Amino acid sequence: MSYDYSRGLNYALYLLSLQMRTSHEIREKLLGKEMSVEMVEQIISYLCAHHFLDDVLYAQSFIRSRRHKFGDYRIKADLKRKGVSLDDVQKGYEALADEEETEDETVDDKHYIKQVLDKKIAVTTIDWDRLKTDYKYKYSLYQKLARFLASRGFAGDVIKNVISERLAEEFFDET
């Protein structure tokens, strides 16, 4: 069954009414309905021109909703998988930084990684007394926490600093 322009546009608007999508996702959905490439591009152009479809806004929203749980590497990879260009991802980060500056809410990556690490430590059984004397145990715990944070897409140097600071805090709190 071949779609005409108005049916294709209505289908795209229906998809966008359910959730935000990237232009790549809409393009793939419309091409899956056996629409011509030219018609799909016309629909995409219309949606972009009327601000129904905006990959920068999508990236900004995606980053905002996930940065408390995942690092920049993971977020960028997920956005790339969704078809958002690196340029649009960068613009999304910049727009989000501008928005946070106007709200006087200067939050850096270290803030988010500390939150994630604290949640992980809260659900992990740790023998703090053993940690002080058993270097093998300390190393294995450090590696476990580092692997967890790396799987979330946080940068290695930030992981190292935050874990070291957090473990040091624990020791200073007990004395």
pTM reported for the whole predicted model: 0.69
Confidence of residue 11 (pLDDT cuts 50, 70, 90): very high
What CATH topology corresponds to 1-53?
A: Arc Repressor Mutant, subunit A (1.10.10)
For 12-40, what is each residue's pLDDT tens digit? 999 999 999 999 999 999 999 889 999 99
How far apart are alpha carbons 140 and 19 in whole angstroms? Answer: 42
Domain extent listing, the chain: 1-53, 54-107, 109-174
Q: Specify which of 73-77, 103-107, 122-126 reaches the highest per-range mean pLDDT.
A: 73-77
How far apart are alpha carbons 105 and 111 in whole angstroms? Answer: 12
Place of tokens 């613009």: 91
For 42-65, what is each residue's pLDDT tens digit? 999 999 999 999 999 999 999 989
